[in-house]
Amino acid sequence: REKLILDVDTGIDDAIAIILAVKSRQFDILGITTVNGNVSLDSATRNTYKILDLLGEQAIPVIKGANTPILRNTFFEHRIHGEDGLGGALKDVHVKQHNDDGFAPDFMINSILGFSKKVTLVMTGPLTNLALAVKKCPQIAKHVKEVIFMGGVIQGVGNVTPTSEYNTYVDPEAAKIVLHAGFESITQVGLDVTRKALLTDEHIQLITNRTLANYIKESTADYRNKYFERNGVFACAMHDPLAVGVALQKDLVTREKYYVDVETKSELCDGQMVCDLQNRLMKPANLNVSLGVNAKEFFNLFIRIINS
Ligand code: BDR
Ligand code: CA
């Protein structure tokens, strides 16, 4: 099984990404690292424990990471994920006290350098933890099998500002560091494809595991309502689960390699992912960009795994 570290800022879709990764049984999950993002670091960590409890998977280590972006202030996304981050689901579930078990960037470094088999990283929050790891120990880049991150948008519009997607907007400096760290294989799963992976009522009805069906239904209810107000369909984008999906099945997305950078010094465009689609800058390509997705196949996989 592939060795995996999952890095999350556990909001609604991160939680479903965790469920998918764990239930797939395809990975040896070395640890789940948490980061400030949709909610505070403590809330993201608490939510992660709640999901692992729901799955009965308390043995997977959870390691806390950065509680702010590298240079900027926190920017929570309560609008979408609710006060707690799980859309109000599991709010009365008590999480037992856990001791802090190290710091996520150090955990990443030690895990990446500690095994003869290369580790895969799936990142579904701002890229702060990985950027801190790379700054401290640049040689890890050559020892990672693949980085797959949810973030950015190439050909569409942003979801926080007109130009920028949430994860790259929250910590653009971190995204920039990660893009230039020299990872042999690094894949972006951005809004271009995740906006097409829409979870609907029909999908939820296909989930036979009652506990998970109820949880997903409740946790996504407000999120789907908001989408309905704008688009007339009760649906919500499975941004983060699609990143896990790509780790499970490579051909869910079509990828092309380009030179990509992230804007960090602009009044209007901070966090924008700038992709040199026509090679104007003549710089070596540094990122696999996902531009097409087989959403139907993703949901087949998703439902199959959740029901297993
Ligand atoms: C990303 O932003 C967060 O709110 C989601 O969890 C996802 O990682 C989508 O832009
Ligand atoms: Ca996320």
| pTM of the entire predicted model | 0.98
Q: Which residues contact 116 (CB under 8 A, 6 or more apart)?
A: none
| Rounded-to-integer distance, Cα 125 and Cα 106, Å | 18
Neighbours of ion ligand 2 (CB under 5 A): 9, 14, 124-125, 240
pLDDT in tens, 135-160: 999 999 999 999 999 999 999 999 99
Structure tokens at 302: 């998703």
Q: Which amino acid is at 187?
A: T
Ligand 1 center from residue 85 Cα (angstroms): 11
List residues near ligand 1 (CB under 6 A). 11, 13-14, 38, 77, 80, 124, 150, 159, 165-167, 239-240
pLDDT digits (tens, 9 = 90+) for 227-241: 999 889 999 999 999
Q: How many angstroms separate the alpha carbon of residue 168 from the centre of ligand 1?
A: 10
- Between the CA of 282 and the centroid of ligand 2 the distance, in Å, is 32
| Per-residue pLDDT tens over the stretch 55-88 | 999 999 999 999 999 999 999 999 999 999 999 9
Model ipTM over 0.95: yes
pLDDT tens digit sequence for 8-40: 999 999 999 999 999 999 999 999 999 999 999
Distance (Å) of CA 32 to CA 174, 262, 282, 287: 19, 26, 37, 24
Give the number of the atom of ligand 1 that is nearest the alpha carbon of residue 12: 6
The helix-helix angle for 239-248 and 12-24 (nearest 10°) equals 20
Rounded to whole angstroms, the Cα distance separating 275 from 259 reads 6
Pocket test of ligand 1: the residue of 124, 220, 222, 242 to mutate, having most ligand atoms within 8 Å of its CB, is 124
Contacts of 198 (CB under 8 A, 6+ apart): 227, 233, 235, 236, 237, 238, 295
Q: Which atom of ligand 1 is nearest to the CA of 194?
A: 9
The ligand 1 atom nearest the CA atom of 150: 8
Number of H helices, E strands in the chain: 12, 12
Both tokens assigned to 219: 């946790």
Which ligand does the CA of 151 lie closest to? 1
Active-site residue list? 239
- Find residue 200's DSSP bridge partners: 235
Cα of 175 from ligand 1 centre, angstroms: 14
The first and second tokens of residue 161, run together, are: 């500002």
| Helix, strand, coil shares, percent, the chain, to 5 | 40, 20, 40
Query: Judging by beta carbons within 10 Å of its beta carbon (0-12, 13-18, 19+), is residue 242 exposed, middle or buried?
Result: buried
Q: Is 177:135 a contact under the CB 8 Å cutoff? A: yes
